[in-house]
Amino acid sequence: MGDKERRSVAAVFAAHGATTGTFASRLPWLSDHLHLSPGKLGIALLMTSIGAVCAMPFAGRLVARAGTKAVSRILIGAFPLVVLAAAWMPSLLALAAVTTVLGAVGGTSDMAMNAQGILVEKRLARSIMSGLHGSWSTGVLLAALAGSLAAHQHVSARVHFAVAAVVIAAGTVWATRSFRTTAVEVGLAEERTEDVPLFVVPRGVILLIGLVGFCGIYAEVAAQDWSSVYMHRTLHGDEAEAAFTTGMFAFTMAAGRLCGDAVIGRLGAATTVRVCGVLGALGGVLVVAARSPIPAIAGFMLIGVGVSVVVPLAFAAAGHAAPNPTQGVAGVATIAYGAGMAAPGMIGGIANLTSLRVAFTAVAVLAGLVALGGGLLGRNAPAAVHGGGAAAAEIGLAEAAEAEALANEA
């Protein structure tokens, strides 16, 4: 039952990623359809992060009351329907309203599926979270490639989104059949963690680790949301090339996550982060310097490798460095969510004032700063990382420490 449920959770992660990739791959169509400048498109994308952050205080209690199975089934099934609605919006204001809902639904469902994954991981007593996040990236990749094909065949985003919504929603309902009803389990966890604050002000080493995570998430979100637009607007690629660029970024990020455990076990956390940071910075420079599509695609692929393992290692290091693992992870999450919120709007705003080429210079700089933070993450990484453990296992260790502390208090 455990392995079957693990596969089901992996399918749900893939469905969530596929929805994200479907939306990102057709942003040039949405931009052209509504005649949006990069700055205006950035406003619409910023609203997804605002919607997710605003939903977070309520998402935990919703999952606790309804259970991860119900929330995952309903909201991940509804997620592509909100994407479909975006294709029918007649103005920037209407699109921004829909993307706000998109962020709230996507963020809440993301919390639910991660909670389900952690519960399954604990029941199996082995790490599965790295593979689950690899499934998410694989979903993004496949959806982006489908978007490239649809754009190449001149299929309207409305038709494309409708087909994707049916497939993803049906797949989600099928996959969640194997989920156990977990309202009681999640409810007990919620009851025991009522004293944990929603927002933690990070300080000291947690702040520094969070800043490394900020750099990684900013580069990831910027490439994910703007790679297709960069290809279309700056390098004058067609919609198919634009969607293909997003797909190649997603491919290398997924490959990095799926292979990251073995690399970390061989090189150690510090060296892995340094290498990834350098690769990401080189990718950013290549994107900015490119005057044709092929070098830019290669640059985005390098960025994908560069950001693949940074964020999991930042969360793991925070959980290990803080006296209370929960507060350490929460401190880094506060900064990381800020990066996710800032990146789309900042890229669009800078591009509106200057150009997308100038805006992506920041991605190269921040990826370089990730390399400088390798030693910090390495010093605070759990011992498992240095002995062949996985980045996801590090997070599992933090969760286990939290559970043990709660059990002792009880």
What is the average pLDDT across 254-263?
A: 82
Higher pLDDT: 201 or 224? It is 224
- In 104-226 the beta strands, taken as DSSP E runs, fall at none
**Most confidently modeled range among 165-169, 318-322, 387-391, 397-401:** 165-169
Domains of the chain in start order, with CATH, are 1-194 (1.20.1250.20), 200-410 (1.20.1250.20)
Nearest to 396 by CA among 13, 186, 127: 127
Global pTM exceeds 0.75: no
Q: Give the phi and the psi of residue 128 in degrees, each rounded to 5.
A: -135, -5
- In 338-382 the beta strands, taken as DSSP E runs, fall at none
For the stretch 336-352, pLDDT in tens is 666 777 787 788 889 88
Nearest to 61 by CA among 185, 189, 190: 190
Q: What is the pLDDT of residue 188?
A: 44
Q: Show Cβ contacts of residue 195 under 8 Å, excluding neighbours closer than 6 positions.
A: none
What is the average pLDDT across 352-367?
A: 92
Q: Show Cβ contacts of residue 126 under 8 Å, excluding neighbours closer than 6 positions.
A: none
Give me 383's structure tokens.
């011992």
Q: What is the pLDDT of residue 187?
A: 45
Strand, coil or helix: 273: helix
**Confidence band (pLDDT; 50, 70, 90) for 93?**
very high
Can you tell me the distance from the alpha carbon of 65 to that of 78, in angstroms, rounded to the nearest whole number?
A: 19
Q: Which amino acid is at 191?
A: E
Q: What percent of the chain is predicted at pLDDT more than 90? A: 35
Can you tell me the distance from the alpha carbon of 52 to that of 49, in angstroms, rounded to the nearest whole number?
A: 5
Averaged pLDDT score across all residues of the chain: 80
> Biggest alpha carbon distance in the chain?
62
Among 225-234, 278-287, 293-302, 318-327, which is the least confidently predicted range? 318-327
Among 37-51, 170-184, 278-292, which is the least confidently predicted range? 170-184
For the stretch 110-169, pLDDT in tens is 877 877 776 776 677 665 666 777 888 889 889 988 998 999 899 999 999 999 999 999
What is the average pLDDT across 172-183?
A: 75
Evaluate whether 401 touches 233 at the Cβ level (below 8 Å): no
Q: What is the pLDDT of residue 1?
A: 54
Can you tell me the distance from the alpha carbon of 148 to that of 133, in angstroms, rounded to the nearest whole number?
A: 23
Evaluate whether 247 touches 147 at the Cβ level (below 8 Å): yes
Nearest to 390 by CA among 323, 315, 339, 321: 315
**Confidence band (pLDDT; 50, 70, 90) for 381?**
low
Evaluate whether 262 touches 272 at the Cβ level (below 8 Å): no
Evaluate whether 310 touches 277 at the Cβ level (below 8 Å): yes
Q: For residue 351, count CB atoms less than 10 angstroms from its CB and return exposed for 0-12, middle for 13-18, buried for 19 or more.
A: buried
Evaluate whether 111 touches 63 at the Cβ level (below 8 Å): yes
Q: What is the pLDDT of residue 227?
A: 92
Give me 168's structure tokens.
């993803």
Q: For residue 149, count CB atoms less than 10 angstroms from its CB and return exposed for 0-12, middle for 13-18, buried for 19 or more.
A: middle
What is the average pLDDT across 56-76?
A: 79
